[in-house]
Each structure stands twice: as structure tokens, then as C-alpha cells.
Amino acid sequence: MERYNGGNAGDAARVRAAVDPAAALAPSRCRVDRVRRETSDTFTLDLSAIDAGTGFHFGAGQFNMLYVFGIGEVPIAISGDPTKPEKLVHTVRTVGAVTEALCALKKGDAVGVRGPFGTAWPVDEAHGRDVVIVAGGIGLAPVRPIVYQVLAHRSRHGRLVLLYGSRTPQDLLYAKELERWRARLDVDVQVTVDAAARGWRGNVGFVTTLVARAPFDPKNAVAFVCGPEVMMRYTAVELQRRGVAPADIHISMERNMTCGVGLCGHCQFGPHFVCTDGPVFALPRVEPLLTIREL
């Protein structure tokens, strides 16, 4: 499946100039191969192409527009393995009509897909350096491809640290996969929840509390942060307090992406269009905007 790829450039003008609107706005048909329930309100869709193509090539951190025919379209981060482009994986949280319709899809149903859009996590910047991933809630989905990518080329990187915060133990995404990663000697996985009943043997506390003691070299690390905006703001502060340079901190913004190609302007965030300049931004590009109310 040949698709427009927003790539890493983050240059909206150039990206918009490169877009063929007709191609970028027309969805391709995909088949639902599997629906997995992750938590009470979150599920993962495995999709394969109905229309002929060459696979779903994407960069970790990019998103697709998923279209439920007759209902509507939503931007959803790709949560699968970028080294295995034959399958498209999306983890979706039910928060409205379209996502509820996505949740109701069954194996064999068709769904429209446009993308991949937006910038990717600059994993290459972490060659020879420690990789620190901090995720909160559903924010684990857009960073999961980083883990796959780093594990596929493990010798290229230093330590791989995943710090994940969730609301409760029942809300943890990819719980079995987290266990598998935790069992590896070359991955450090730390999980915390905001609230837990007595039986929970893991950490309780906000995810920012994990940063201070996480095993990485702040002077030689690249951090990838994804979650609610408040969580990302405070995590960025903690990472900088630990000694990580702002330019080495990358966050994934979320706004009302609609066209996905920088034409409609719905996702404007200050001077940026999140759909083409982002969603992944180096912190210095957006940090001053994060504290502007209602932006």
C-alpha cells in the first residue's frame, strides 16, 4: 500500500507542498483481522490491506486517520512494529461515537485508513545513547513502536528504560508485553499507578516519581514522552531536573487532527500544525506554548 509519508522533516510548508490532496484524503480499505480488548475502554485492532499494496511502512510515532464508513474519522497513533509493515496495529480508547464504532468492529469488517501522517520519534538520534521512554495511560501506544524498533536493533543503543504510569492496575495497557519486556535483561521497565487496591505489588505514585531513580545517563540519553499534556509537562521538568538537555526530550502532542495533511488548520498549535509539524516535537519547539491557556 503506497501512502503519503509525512516523515521526520517537520517542515509544514514543504510537507503541504508535497501533498497530493486527492491521494492523501482518499482512504484505502483495510480488513479487521483481530480485535483485542486491552482494558475496560481500550482495544487493539490488527488490520491488513484489502486494496493491493506494498505494506504499511511508517515511522514510530506517526498516526493514521481511521474511517468507520458512515460514522466518521479519527486520528489514531500506530502502535505496531515498524519493522513488520505487513500488519497495521492501532490501539484505540473509546471516547466518542467514532471510537465506539471502531470498538464494535468484528473480524472481517472493513475500515478506511489514511496515512501515515505526521512526524516520527527521532529514534536515530538515540544511536549510541540511552533511550528513555516515559508514557502515561493510552500514551503507551504511540511509544510502543520505539520499543520494537530499539529491540530490533538492540546493539545500536545504550540502556532502554520504559517508565509507564497508569490510572489503576486494571488500566495498564499491554500488561503481558510489559511483563515480557521486564523479564529481559536489556530492558528496564518500571510501572506505577495512581491508585491501587491492597493486592497490587507494584508502585503507586505519579509517573514523574520514577524519573529521578531510573537507571540512565542523563547526559547521554534521549527521552520520548507521551501521555496527557499535564503529564508531559511535569515529566519534562523532571527529566531536565535530572540533567537531560531540553533538545533531547521529545513529546507527542495531540490536537484535533482532521485532514492529516496540514490543509484544514483544525490542529493548529501556535505556529505549528500538529498533523504535519508534529505530533512528535522536540521540547524546545513547543515548550513555550505548553503554558499558554486554551491554545
Partner 1 sequence: MKTIEGLLGEHLYFQGMPPEYLALLAGCGRNVQFTPGQYINREGQEANEFYAIRHGKVTLEMFVPGRGPVTLHTLSEGEVFGWSWIFPPYRWMFDARAVEVTRAVAFDGLCLRTKCENDPAMGYDFMKRFAQVAVARLDSARLQLLDVYGTVQRR
The residue ranges that bind partner 1 (CB under 8 A) are 74, 93, 95-99, 136-138, 165-167, 171, 192, 194-198, 200-206, 208-209, 212-213, 227-228, 230-231, 234
**Residue 227 Cβ vs partner 1, minimum distance, rounded to whole Å:** 8
Q: Which three cell numbers stand for residue 92?
A: 484505540
Could you tell me which of 239, 261, 265 has the C-alpha nearest to residue 250?
239
Distance CA 74, CA 65 (A): 5
Give the position of cell 501515515: 116
Smallest separation, CB 128 to partner 1 (Å): 27
CB of 205 to partner 1, least distance (A): 5
Q: Are 82 and 66 in contact (CB under 8 A)?
A: no
Task: Provide the 3-class DSSP secondary structure of residue 150.
Answer: helix
Which of these, 159, 148, 151, 165, lies nearest to 78 by C-alpha position?
148
Q: Which is nearer to partner 1, 106 or 201 (CB)?
A: 201
- CB 100: neighbour CB atoms within 10 A? 14
CB neighbours of residue 45 within 10 Å:
24
Shortest Å, Cβ 231 to partner 1:
5
C-alpha cell belonging to residue 49: 490491506
Q: Of 209 and 220, which CB lies nearer to partner 1 in the complex structure?
A: 209
β-bridge partners, 161 = 132, 188
At closest approach, how far in Å is the CB of 193 from partner 1? 9
